[in-house]
Amino acid sequence: MLDDLADFCTGALAEHDCPSVSVAVAERGELVLAQAYGWADLAGRRPATPQTAYSLNSITKSLTAIGTCLAADAGLLDLDAPVPGPYARPGAKVGAKVGAEVRAGAGAEAADWPEPTVRQLLQHRGGLGGYYNFEHEGGPLIDPARYLTLLREPGSGFEYSNLGYQQVGRLLESVTGLPLPDYLRQRLFWPLGLIDLRLGVDYTGPGPRAERYTVDRRAYPLYRSGTPGASAGWGTASSLVLLAQRYAELLKPETLAAMHVGPPVNEHVAYGLGWNLSRGAGPVIHSHGGGGAGVASMLLAMPGLGLSVSVLCNSTDKSARDKIINHVMGELVPGYRPELIAPMTPEPVLRMALPEGHWSGTVTVPGGEVPLELRILADERIEVELPGAQRVTVSAAASPSWALRAAVPLQLPTDDAKLNSPAIVLELRRAEQGRQQDQQQGRRLEQRQEQRLVGVLRVYKAGDGEGWFGNYLTHPCELLLQSS
């Protein structure tokens, strides 16, 4: 099987303009295939080899989760204990053109939300928003602590968030007394004999590393991320497949079982402690992918078959990675389907049915608020206005989770967004709010209903076809209906 791997990988790299790929397969604890194709360094004409280490990005979450479970087995932490942090709660008030009164919004109920637990953060159910950030060429690094806002009650829903793993990484450093890279190296990588796995800004292992490239083959300089426990891993495909085979040796059976249990994310995938878990018909697959600035990686384990597979590429474009994964898994794993490893499937697009009207409110940003004006127009269009920018009119849609969802070519006027996040996505739903006003005389209480839209404004950059990969930051927002 896989006799055509060289031709297939070479063709996939050429088709999708990807510099290189490294592929490894392990079976029942032993490495049975390790091949690499293409260029680890285009300018230096250095070929990729099985000894070439690649940036892993989000596969790092699996490493951090295993390290967390090791610490739990050692009695250093409790998976169901809260993780302290300076968590903010959204929705304390809306301040744009709605009068001077303080209007208790989401913050009224959020004030009593507990801090998220270790388990919830590892399962992306800690209530934190989507987030990633990069520091390119010595620019400023955004402080992730500024974005530790609970957007929902911990445990109540799934939102993929690097912030949760940043918090768990900091907890590991506190309870072990070691920097996270040292802890994982000493307690996980070295005991398994996997000396080329590392966490860090640059690769410090025994062999060469692959340069990282944009979709149009520009080499990235070294960059930092503010969430190393989520994304700072490096390693070879060979070491990853052996890790997937052997890490169970280090854990208590009950802790290992806990890693592979989690609430569903969609019809085909649940998320446990650092692993995507296939659901329903088909083979049992534990997986995690990674993507971002010059990285497209994937690690898959099929415990029932005693198999593990890793595919690592050094391009932001995931197309070659995905094509090679589907080929390898289709050959080796009966009943494999791509949806068994895809937690981040897009929601169905629905018709936006909000009535025409003018809404006004604020976006909560680190250190303050930014006014936001929204006009819902006819024909599923909206008009959006932010300070210092012209109004923009775009089409809007809805989804099962949101009454309104729209990408808008406006930049949020904050220092963080101006670094490398030139556009926004609005995701809003309707909420009815009861408000009590003390009339003082006889302490009579008056109830009044106000129409609200609540949700998030996310800033982002669409890929790296121009410049470098951008930052992705989530901000809570709340709007009140002004006129209809």
**pLDDT digit string, tens, across residues 255-306:** 999 999 999 999 999 999 999 999 999 999 999 999 999 999 999 999 999 9
141-189 pLDDT, tens digit per residue, is: 899 999 999 999 999 999 999 999 999 999 999 999 999 999 999 999 9
74-123 pLDDT, tens digit per residue, is: 999 999 999 999 999 886 443 333 322 223 345 456 778 999 999 999 99
- Among 109-123, 172-186, 327-341, 401-415, the range scoring the smallest mean pLDDT is 109-123
Cα(278)–Cα(269) distance, integer angstroms = 5
Cβ-based neighbours of 177, under 8 Å, separated by 6 or more: none
Could you state, in order of their start, the residue ranges of all structural domains in the chain? 5-64+171-341, 357-483
Query: Cβ(48)–Cβ(347) under 8 Å?
Result: no
Query: Cβ(103)–Cβ(478) under 8 Å?
Result: no
pTM, two decimals, is 0.93
**Exposure string over 116-152, b if 16+ CB within 10 A, otherwise e:** bbbbbbbbbbbbbbbbbbbbbeeeebbebeebbbbbb
The domain 5-64+171-341: what is its CATH number?
Answer: 3.40.710.10
- Among 51-65, 100-114, 328-342, 465-479, the range scoring the smallest mean pLDDT is 100-114
Cβ-based neighbours of 313, under 8 Å, separated by 6 or more: 18, 19, 20, 21, 54, 295, 296, 297, 320, 321, 324
